[in-house]
Amino acid sequence: MRSNFTTLQPFNFSTLKTIFQSFNFQSFNSITVPLQLTKAFSSMILYSISAQNPHRHFIDIEVVNPVVNTDKLLIQLPSWRPGRYELANFAQNIQQWQIFDENDNPLRYKKVTKDCWEIETSGVSQVKVVYNYFANQLDAGASYYDENQLYVNPVNCLVYFPEYINDKCRLSLKGLPADYKVASGMNFNQFYEAELSDFHELADSPFIASNSLTHEVYSVGEFVFHIWIQGEAQPDWNHVKMDFYNFSRVQIEMFGELPVREYHFLFQLPNFKFYHGVEHLNSTVIALGPGYKLMSPDVYNDFLGISSHELFHSWNIKSIRPIEMFPYDYTKENYTNLGYVAEGVTTYYGDLMLMRGGVYPWQEYAMEVQKFMHRHFHVFGRYYQTLSESSYDTWLDGYKPGIPDRKVNMYVKGMMVAFILDMHLRYDTNNEKSLDDVMRILYNDFAKKGKGYSEEDYLQIVSEVSGNDYRRFFEEYIWGLMPLEEALEEAYNYIGCSIALTSSPIIYESHFGFKLKSETAFKNIIGQVAPDSPADKAGLSINDEVIGVNGLILENNLHDFLTIEMGKNVTLNIIRNKKQMDINMQQTSEEYFPIYTVVKIPIANPKQRENFQKWAGVAF
């Protein structure tokens, strides 16, 4: 058990003033050097975090605004965090809440929304907010405190004063055990204090404090990268650092620079299966497991893929940002149609950069593409929702299954449309220009100039890079419902590849048209039914539980039973709403849920091979 954190009293500006006046200076304001310091403190919002009783998972927070000159003051806790297009309502994690003036007298306040408070501050020169926050969610975007670590995403739990959101901040970690190190993009001094330019920077700066962190560093030119690991993992550091160096190098080469001088990968590697990453400007938090299997092929490939993806976000979304999110509004949904750029393009480049850097061979890259194709073509919402609408509606139901056949995924379809667009641009310009150029223009002309971009800006840049008007492309593939099959095949042909379709080896998918939920391994729960398939025509429904076939009770052998009954009519014995029913299915010659594979064409011509090399950065 680690030693308990202790709560220390925050810095009191009025006490400092009394001390200086006791030295009989003519006036407090006449002290030149101390005055400069006090001006710096007085214009700075002061935050402190401490904690005790790790089994309870509460962290203690104090926030001081030392300069108040209004009769009323608002305090706001964010409702969501950038990187997750969904309201999180973090205020539900606050248990105790108090507000005091400069003399520790309680102030009157009222709640005006679920996460905003209005304080009566007439005659008050300082406001101190004291509260606790339940930190018991271990993923890449939340906060967690136990006997091993204090892990905080400030955007979850730190309030801000809307009128002072652009003021400088200081964060102090109080009572950390002496052997704790802090992993963060923030620059903490020896007293565990860090200064931030404003609340936006503070909100974007997660940290892990622990005595079990492992840390390695590598550099790409002038840019320094830190890898921090919290968890029981045994990385092959030489292998890891070489792979990270290679995908970091090609990303920097694409843009010409990294948006920041130093970048931190913060890894939470629990001993259970997990996969989650969240981007920040100069860091990322990645929760991946099981950590003890880090160097196994499957986990390590996920480790590389998510790391490359999150690093690319340092340019795309943290720097290159839709105008609707410039700046972020933490109080409500920040709607935009450009999720297919922020997330779809990033998903495309995340894996591509691994191949360009020599980290992924072609076979591994093609397997990742195959997964995305299945996630798109096995979902029938692609007939009803456009890519642009998906970007907007992510705020509605983007992180849950939703109703059947309603939506597409902006990450998945966005990745495929980005590839198609890239191939079109390369074809139009004989490989002189590409989507790389579009992203560089967005970075140089928008991000570096401190402004957001609109969908019309994106269309205009694409058209200028191509030399052709791309409005029709947008109308068909982004704003419309044009199927992607033919466009993808043409795009892959340009680089000497093709899409091969084969039957799913799972009989109930290929011949009957239904899938089971993957998370219910010991029950046969229906997760998806293909429209107009034998299962659909027979009346099979999602969430039905299949307990038998033709009266024979199943024991984790549905596939085997249906294989025996191939070519025959089949009766599924199911339970629906706690009632047993029979579903009679008639097989047809149609097949469903095929396997998509991207393969190289054996007789690809020299031009196709050249196109491949210029795109992938490696020989065909």
pLDDT tier for residue 587 given thresholds of 50, 70 and 90: confident
> What tokens does 482 get?
């044009």
pLDDT at 11: 40
> Residues 414-440: what's their mean pLDDT?
98
Q: Tokens 């001088």 identify what position?
A: 261
Residue 52 has pLDDT above 60, yes or no: yes
In 207-301, beta strands by DSSP E:
207-210, 214-220, 223-231, 262-269, 274-279, 283-289
Let me know if residue 517 belongs to a domain.
yes
For the domain that residue 524 is a member of, what is the CATH number? 2.30.42.10
Cα 93 to the center of its chain, rounded Å: 21
Q: Tokens 């490696």 identify what position?
A: 618
pLDDT at 519: 63
Among the listed residues 310, 267, 270, the one whose alpha carbon sits nearest the alpha carbon of residue 289: 270
Cβ–Cβ under 8 Å, residues 585 and 569: yes
C-alpha distance from residue 511 to each of 70, 294, 535, 570, 586 (Å):
71, 37, 9, 11, 10
Shared-domain flag, residues 184 and 265:
no
> What tokens does 547 get?
């307990």
pLDDT at 564: 86
Shared-domain flag, residues 297 and 279:
yes
Residue 24 has pLDDT above 80, yes or no: no
User: CA-based diameter of the chain, in Å?
Assistant: 102
Among the listed residues 377, 368, 384, the one whose alpha carbon sits nearest the alpha carbon of residue 501: 377
Among the listed residues 234, 324, 236, 311, the one whose alpha carbon sits nearest the alpha carbon of residue 266: 311
How high does pLDDT run on average in the chain? 92
Shared-domain flag, residues 515 and 381:
no
Residue 493 has pLDDT above 60, yes or no: yes
> Residues 593-604: what's their mean pLDDT?
97
Q: CA-CA distance, 210 to 147, in Å (whole number)? A: 9
pLDDT at 588: 86
> What tokens does 363 get?
């076979």
Residue 31 has pLDDT above 70, yes or no: no
Cβ–Cβ under 8 Å, residues 8 and 48: yes
> What tokens does 339 get?
């999720």
Dihedral (CA of 604, 608, 614, 616) sign: negative
Percentage with pLDDT > 70 across the chain = 93
Q: CA-CA distance, 417 to 338, in Å (whole number)? A: 13
Cβ–Cβ under 8 Å, residues 516 and 527: yes
Shared-domain flag, residues 395 and 465:
yes
Q: How does DSSP classify residue 476?
A: I
Per residue in 380-402, pLDDT (tens digit) is 999 999 999 999 999 999 999 89
Q: Tokens 């629990």 identify what position?
A: 270
Residue 300 has pLDDT above 60, yes or no: yes
Shared-domain flag, residues 485 and 336:
yes
Total domains in the fold of the chain: 4
Query: Of the candidates 154, 175, 210, which is a domain's last residue?
Result: 210
- In the chain the first and final C-alpha atoms are separated, in Å, by 55
pLDDT at 23: 37
For the domain that residue 475 is a member of, what is the CATH number? 1.10.390.10
Shared-domain flag, residues 308 and 346:
no
Let me know if residue 134 belongs to a domain.
yes
Let me know if residue 604 belongs to a domain.
no
Q: CA-CA distance, 172 to 8, in Å (whole number)? A: 10
Domain boundaries, position 150: 13-210
Q: Tokens 């466009």 identify what position?
A: 487
Percentage with pLDDT > 90 across the chain = 88
Q: CA-CA distance, 131 to 133, in Å (whole number)? A: 7
Let me know if residue 610 belongs to a domain.
no
pLDDT at 567: 79
Let me know if residue 3 belongs to a domain.
no
Residues in the chain: 620
Q: What three-state secondary structure class fits 497?
A: strand
> What tokens does 190 get?
């020896």
pLDDT at 555: 86
Q: CA-CA distance, 476 to 387, in Å (whole number)? A: 10
Let me know if residue 298 belongs to a domain.
yes
pLDDT at 4: 39
For residue 327, whether the previous peptide bond is cis, meaning omega lies within 30 degrees of 0, is: yes
Cβ–Cβ under 8 Å, residues 267 and 228: yes
Continuous H helices in 119-262: 154-157, 199-203, 237-255
Residue 540 has pLDDT above 80, yes or no: yes
Shared-domain flag, residues 282 and 423:
no
Q: CA-CA distance, 491 to 485, in Å (whole number)? A: 10
Q: CA-CA distance, 229 to 597, in Å (whole number)? A: 35
204: left (phi over 0), alpha (psi -120 to 50) or beta: alpha
Per residue in 306-357, pLDDT (tens digit) is 999 999 999 999 999 999 999 999 999 999 999 999 999 999 999 999 999 9
For the domain that residue 77 is a member of, what is the CATH number? 2.60.40.3650
Per residue in 36-47, pLDDT (tens digit) is 333 444 579 999
Shared-domain flag, residues 470 and 342:
yes
pLDDT at 480: 98
Per residue in 99-154, pLDDT (tens digit) is 999 999 999 999 999 999 999 999 999 999 999 999 999 999 999 999 999 999 99
Amino acid at 490: E
Q: CA-CA distance, 129 to 443, in Å (whole number)? A: 39
Shared-domain flag, residues 470 and 329:
yes
pLDDT tier for residue 521 given thresholds of 50, 70 and 90: low
Shared-domain flag, residues 346 and 267:
no
Query: Of the candidates 500, 519, 547, which is a domain's last residue?
Result: 500
Amino acid at 434: S
> What tokens does 168 get?
């400088």
Cβ–Cβ under 8 Å, residues 553 and 561: no
Q: How does DSSP classify residue 131?
A: E
Amino acid at 242: M
The pTM assigned to this predicted structure is 0.92
218: left (phi over 0), alpha (psi -120 to 50) or beta: beta
Let me know if residue 2 belongs to a domain.
no
Let me know if residue 591 belongs to a domain.
no
Query: Of the candidates 293, 313, 333, which is a domain's last residue?
Result: 313
pLDDT tier for residue 453 given thresholds of 50, 70 and 90: very high
Shared-domain flag, residues 275 and 338:
no
Shared-domain flag, residues 403 and 366:
yes
